[in-house]
Amino acid sequence: MSVPALTPPCALVELWAVRHGESTANAVYADPATADRTEPLPGLDRDVPLSERGVAQATALGGWLAERDPGLLVVCSPYLRARETWRLMAETAGLPADDALVDDRLRDREQGIFALHPPAAFIARDPREAERRKRVGAWYYRPPGGEALTDVTVRVGQFLTELSRAATGRRVLLVAHDAVVVAVRQYFGGIGYPTPDRLPPVPNASVSRWVAEAGRLGLTEWGGVGHLSG
């Protein structure tokens, strides 16, 4: 007989977690024409902007936002692609973009020495480390100088605990990254919640939702992209 997880109490009424629109790095990684690229992308991960498609996705998110409660508390990742997503969302919804709080704990998973390395570039730089990543698995792998998803879950969990105390009774919108959204799911799953064998997909510009019931937040929607249709 399995023992149910111990879910943490939360004083929020509702939580929406949005992944940023497609970034220029996302576009490169997804392009079959660059599958054999063995050089990392230039610049810093925190400065990667939205692609043209990402701009359109963020604008579509603004249409979704326009139908939500105007009293949402918004907290955003400090990374450019997330801040651009929020700015376009706010402009489209007719809201002031500077109303969002920014918290560093919502930054993307740090990849250390392999930041901005497409898969082929990762393997070319260090085949043995690539093999170790495959062996350890996506959830537990920690690149040199970077974070495992377990590390991301710790810092996101600290943020959510503090958010619950500081924003009691509020509806909250997070604009961040796929690793952060997965960490939110893991945190609200509670103590004893199993780590996934495979990471649940979090599409660009998707929306996940948690709603309060009996003093705890329960997942009601995961990775929704209906607002992007058309």
Domain total in the chain? 1
Residue 150 belongs to a domain = yes
The reported pLDDT for the residue numbered 35 is 87
Query: Over the chain (230 residues), what is each successive 10-residue block's mean pLDDT?
Result: 83 98 96 92 98 98 92 97 98 94 98 96 96 95 97 98 98 98 97 87 97 96 92
Residue 7 belongs to a domain = no
**In CATH, what number is assigned to the domain containing residue 188?**
3.40.50.1240
The reported pLDDT for the residue numbered 4 is 79
The reported pLDDT for the residue numbered 2 is 65
Residue 149 belongs to a domain = yes
Give this prediction's pTM.
Answer: 0.96
Beta-strand pair 73-76/171-176: parallel
The reported pLDDT for the residue numbered 189 is 96
Write out the residue range of the structural domain in which residue 145 sits. 14-223
Residue 159 belongs to a domain = yes
Residue 6 belongs to a domain = no
Residue 5 belongs to a domain = no
Cβ contact 224:208 at 8 Å: yes
Residues 29-71 have pLDDT tens digits of 999 988 899 999 999 999 999 999 999 999 999 999 999 878 8
Q: What is the DSSP annotation of 96-135?
A: -GGG-EE-GGGSPPP-GGGTT--HHHHHHH-HHHHHHHHH
Nearest to 105, CA basis, from 140, 79, 81, 84: 79
